[in-house]
Amino acid sequence: MSGYGDFCPVARASEIFAERWTPLIVREIVNGRHHFGEIHKALHRISPSVLGERLRELEAKGVVERRKNMSGRGSTYHLTGAGRELKPIIDALGVWGQRWLELRDEHLDADALMYQLRTHIPEASLPPQHVVLRFDFRGSMRSYWLRLERPHSELCDYAPALEDLVVRPDVETLTRVYLGEAALASALRTGIVAVEGPSRLMRMLTKWIVPSRFGSYARPMRYHESTGEFRQLSAVRAQGRLS
Amino acid sequence: MSGYGDFCPVARASEIFAERWTPLIVREIVNGRHHFGEIHKALHRISPSVLGERLRELEAKGVVERRKNMSGRGSTYHLTGAGRELKPIIDALGVWGQRWLELRDEHLDADALMYQLRTHIPEASLPPQHVVLRFDFRGSMRSYWLRLERPHSELCDYAPALEDLVVRPDVETLTRVYLGEAALASALRTGIVAVEGPSRLMRMLTKWIVPSRFGSYARPMRYHESTGEFRQLSAVRAQGRLS
DNA sequence: CGGTATCCCCCGCGATACTG
DNA sequence: CAGTATCGCGGGGGATACCG
C-alpha cells in the first residue's frame, strides 16, 4: 500500500489494519488458527505469497509474534498484546456487518460454508458413533460429506461411509441459517431445505448446524416464495450479544 | 478492490471499511466535514476522483447519505444510521494506533499538522483581538502564520499582519505534542521548541495548542538530547478516555 | 468551488512453481 | 507441509484537465 503520510492515529492504524486481507488474517488468528496452512485454508482465496507478506508486516508492526517450531519445521503465529487488542475491533466490524450489510450473491461460497459449518458444530452435540451427512446443494453437481463423530468431525468431498442423512439446501439459505438470518427449523418445515433420512437424525440437524457467534445481531429474514428472495422480516433490529 | 467472496460479516464489513482511504473519509465526516472540498482539504493526498468514487460507494452501501444542496451547487455528505455506528470503530482504531504504533518519519507533514492545530484550538481560549503567530519549522524554508481571533482563526502561508510571536519547532516535536506524547510546556522549557515574543503570549501557547482527542491514550515520550530521538518514557501505558 | 473524465503508470496480487 | 521466488496481468489510484 504505501501509507497515508498522516500522523493521525486513525490513519496510522488504518495503514496496518485496513489493508487488503489483514483484518481477516487477524480474525483467523483470533479464531485459534496459528499455523500458516490453517490460515491459508480458512482464507482459501489469498495467495500464499500475500499471506506470508502480511504475516511479516504484522510481525514487524508488533501485532503478531512468530514462534519457530522447536520441531524444526514451520512456525506458529500468535497475537501480541497489541494484536489481542484488535479483537474488539474485529468483533465490532462483524457486528456492524451483520447489522447493516446485505448478503449478496458474490459472498456465497459452498466450500467456505461447509468448512465453517464443520468447525462450528458444538462438540457437545456430536454423536458418540459416527453419523454421515451428505449435502447436495441445489444446482450443483458435487456433494459434501460431513462425518460427525465425537470428538472430531470431518469434511470430505467423497463418501467416507454410507450416508445416514441427505440434506438438499441451496447455498443462500444455508448461509443465511449460518449467519442467523434464517431459522433452520422453518427452512426444514417449508421444505426449502429438503432432508432424507430417519426423523431422529433430522431433528438433530438443528443441534449440529447453529448460527455463528454474530448470529444474534442478524436481521431476521424470511423467504418469500413468490419472488424467490429473502427479505427483511421487519424494521425491528435484533439486539444481540457476542458469545 | 473486488471483495473477498466471503459471507462472514467481518469480511463483508472489511470490503467496505477496510479499503484504502475509506476509514479516513468516514473519520472526516464524523469530524463534521460535510462538503467534498472540506474532506478533500483534510485528506489532501487523496485524488478527487478517488474521493468521489469512495463517496459513491459509501452511499451505495448505505453508510453515507448525499444531500443535494438546495442552492443548486454541490451537495453535503452525512452519515446514515449505519455510518454513525462506525464511529466507535474509528475511535477504537485511533485508540489502538495511539497505544501501539510508533510515529515514523513518513507520517510527519507540517502542512497537515498546522491544519490540525488550527482546527483544534479551543474556541474559549481565542483572544478577542487578533494575535498572529508565525511558525518556522526547523530545516524548512517556508513559514506558517496562524491568525487567532475569536471566533475564527485562520491559517495563512503569508503574513496576514505583523507577528506577535514566533515559534520555532521541529515537525516531529510539535506533532508529538499534538498527539499527546510530549508536553509542550517542557518542550518550551528545554528550548527544543524556541519562542520569541512577549512572555504573556508565550504562556498562552499551551492554551492554544492542545492534544488531540486521542491524546490521553498516548504513550508519554521524552526527548533524549544525546541521540536526538524521542523514546518511550517507561513501560507504563497511559489509560485514557475519549473526549 | 464541487465534482467527473481521462490517462497512464505502477505495483498489488493472484497463479504457479519451487525449495527445505 | 511451510513457506518463498518469479512472473505477468489488471486495475487501483495519482495527477491533471476539465466542466457546471
C-beta atoms of A103 and B7 within 8 A:
yes
CA nearest neighbour of A30 among B8, B17, B236, B218: B8
Mark whether B217 and B137 lie in a shared domain: yes
Residue window 61-90, chain A: list those with CB within 8 Å of chain B: 61-63, 82, 85-86, 88-90
Q: Which residues contact A79 (CB under 8 A, 6 or more apart)?
A: A26, A29, A30, A63, A64, A65, A86, A87
Mark whether B63 and B118 lie in a shared domain: no
The reply to whether B36 has its C-beta less than 7 Å from any atom of strand C is: yes
The reply to whether A121 has its C-beta less than 7 Å from any atom of strand C is: no
Q: What is the DSSP string of A143-159?
A: EEEEEE-SS--EEESS-
The alpha carbon of residue B98 is apart from the nearest alpha carbon of chain A, in Å, by 5
Tally of structural domains, chain B? 2
Among B28, B54, B85, the domain-final residue is B85
Residue A108 grid cell:
456465497
pLDDT of residue A108: 96
Distance CA B177, CA A127 (A): 61
Distance CA B39, CA B28 (A): 6
Contact A112, A142 (CB under 8 A): no
User: Would residue B159 count as lying in a domain?
Assistant: yes
Long-range contacts of B235-242 (CB under 8 A, 24+ apart): B237/B99, B238/B99, B240/B95, B240/B98, B240/B214, B240/B215, B240/B216, B241/B216, B242/B91, B242/B95, B242/B213, B242/B214, B242/B216
Q: How many CB atoms lie within 10 A of CB B42?
A: 20
Residue window 96-135, chain B: list those with CB within 8 Å of chain A: 96-101, 103, 106-109, 112-113, 116
What integer is the mean pLDDT of B35-64?
96
pLDDT of residue A28: 97
User: What single-letter amino acid sits at B238?
Assistant: A
> Residue B29: pLDDT above 80?
yes
Mark whether B35 and B153 lie in a shared domain: no
Q: What is the pLDDT of residues A210-243, one digit of tens each?
A: 999 999 999 999 999 899 999 998 665 556 788 7
pLDDT of residue B66: 97
Closest residue by C-alpha to C1' distance, nucleotide D10: B1
Q: What is the pLDDT of residues A30-54, one digit of tens each?
A: 999 999 999 999 999 999 999 999 9
Mark whether B75 and B19 lie in a shared domain: yes
Distance CA A15, CA A11 (A): 6
User: Would residue A100 count as lying in a domain?
Assistant: no
User: Would residue B118 count as lying in a domain?
Assistant: yes
Q: Which residue of A has its CA nearest to B7?
A: A107
The reply to whether B52 has its C-beta less than 7 Å from any atom of strand C is: yes
Distance CA A237, CA A219 (A): 6
Mark whether B223 and B133 lie in a shared domain: yes
Domain that holds residue A143: 105-232
User: Would residue A241 count as lying in a domain?
Assistant: no
pLDDT of residue B242: 85
Choose the closest CB to A89 out of B63, B93, B178: B93
DSSP class of A218? P
Judge whether B95 is closer than 8 Å to chain A, CB to CB. yes
Choose the closest CB to A101 out of B12, B21, B113: B12
Among B30, B55, B85, the domain-final residue is B85
Distance CA A96, CA A66 (A): 30
**Which nucleotides along chain D are within 7 A of a protein C-beta?**
1-7, 11-17, 20
Mark whether A31 and A77 lie in a shared domain: yes
Q: What is the pLDDT of residues B170-196, one digit of tens each?
A: 999 999 999 999 999 999 999 999 999
Nearest-10 Cα torsion for A49, A50, A52, A54: 160
User: Would residue A51 count as lying in a domain?
Assistant: yes
CATH of the domain at A54: 1.10.10.10
- Distance from the first to the final alpha carbon of chain A: 34
Mark whether A122 and A19 lie in a shared domain: no
Answer whether the bond into residue A48 is a cis peptide, omega within 30°.
Answer: no
User: Would residue B38 count as lying in a domain?
Assistant: yes
Mark whether B118 and B222 lie in a shared domain: yes
Mark whether A54 and A147 lie in a shared domain: no
Mark whether A228 and A109 lie in a shared domain: yes
